[in-house]
Amino acid sequence: MIHSPSPTARKVSIGLLAAALVVFFAMMAWQSVAPQQDTGSLPIKQPPSILPEATSPSSRRYLKVPILIYHSIAPYKADMSPLVREYTVPPESLAEQLQYLQQNGYTVISFESLADAMVDASATLPSKSVVLTFDDGWEDQYRDAFPLLKKYGDTATFFVFTNGMDTTDFMTWDQLKEMQAAGMDIESHSVSHPYLSAITDKAELWKEIEGSREIIESHLGRAPDLFAYPFGDYNALDIAMLKAAGYRAARTDLGWALPTATANLATTTDALYRLPGAQATDDFERFLSLINK
C-alpha cells in the first residue's frame, strides 16, 4: 500500500530521486556534455534587478489532473543497475499504459491545456484527463516513445536540458523539431540540469532559466513557457526567476510519492509553478494508482 508522504518522507523521496538521477546520468555519460556550444551565445547575462513576488494573491484555481513523469523508454539490459532500471520503462510497458488510457475513457491533454484551464475559470477539461511528460531529452524517447504516442494519438510534453541535445544518448535538435511538428510540446528543463536551489549567484541562475528558454527558441523557433525543475528541486527565488523570464507554469517532481490534494495552492500565483508530477514506472498497479489519484 502506498501512503501519502509526510514532509520527512518527501525530503527522503527527493534525496533518493536525486541520487538515482546522478547515477543514471553518470552511467549514460551525460557529464561529458560540452556546454560551450550554446552558453557562450546567450544575449542576456544578468537577471532583472527587480523580480516578481514568488507568492501573491490570485484567483487562479487548482485542477487535480495526474501528471506522469517518464525518463528513459528502452528495453531492460542485463547490466542495468537497480537505480537505472527504476527510471527506465520498457516500450511494451508504455504501450500497455497508453492502450489502457485509450480504452478506458481517459483523455491525454497537453500541459499547456492544464495551465490554460487553471487561469481561465470558464475553461473545462475532460473528467478523466491525464498529462504525460518526459524528462531530460533521452534519445530513446524519440526512438521508442514517440512512435507509440503517434500510434495512440496522444500528445506529450518533453522537458529537455539544452546542454544535452546533439550529444551521445540524447536527442538531436532535428529530432526535437520533428516531434514538435507532429504535435509534441518541447519545453525547458534548464541548461545543465543543476540543483537550482543550490545556485546563489543570480546571474548564473538566470542563465539556467532564461538561457535555456533562448537556446530552445533559437533551435525550434518557439520560446518555451513551461519548466520542469531538475531533480524536482526549487525555492522561492527560482519561482520568481521563472516568472521574470516569461514562464507561465512549472512542474515539480514528487519522485515515487503519489500526489496528494493541494487545494490550498489555488489562492496564490505560484500554484502554476508548483504543479506536482510523479514518476511512472513499469509497475502497472502503480500506474493505475497515479491516474486514479
Question: Domains plus CATH for the chain?
Answer: 7-291 (3.20.20.370)
Measuring CA to CA, which residue among 148, 140, 137, 236 is closest to residue 189?
Answer: 137
What is d(CA 260, CA 10) in angstroms, rounded to the nearest whole number? 12
Taking residue 85's Cβ as centre, other Cβ atoms within 10 Å add up to 17
Query: Can you list the residues of the chain whose pLDDT is less than 50?
Result: 1-19, 22-40, 44, 57, 59, 261-267
Q: Which amino acid is at 290?
A: L
Can you tell me which residue has the cell 494519438? Answer: 153
Q: Which amino acid is at 165?
A: M
Q: CA Rg, the chain, in Å?
A: 18
What is d(CA 68, CA 168) in angstroms, rounded to the nearest whole number? 26
Measuring CA to CA, which residue among 282, 262, 257, 281 is closest to residue 272?
Answer: 262
Measuring CA to CA, which residue among 144, 216, 209, 210 is closest to residue 180?
Answer: 216
- For residue 12, what pLDDT is reported? 44
- For residue 195, what pLDDT is reported? 97
- For residue 26, what pLDDT is reported? 43
Answer yes or no: are the C-beta atoms of 78 and 289 closer than 8 Å. Answer: no
- For residue 68, what pLDDT is reported? 96
* Buried/exposed 203-234: b ≥16 CB within 10 Å, e otherwise: eebbbbbbbbbbbbeebbeebbbbbbbbbbbb
SS3 for 127?
Answer: coil
- For residue 166, what pLDDT is reported? 98
- For residue 117, what pLDDT is reported? 86
Instruction: Quickly list DSSP for 79-111.
Output: T--HHHHHTEE-HHHHHHHHHHHHHTT-EEE-H
Work out whether strand 249-251 and strand 226-228 pair parallel, antiparallel, or are unpaired.
parallel
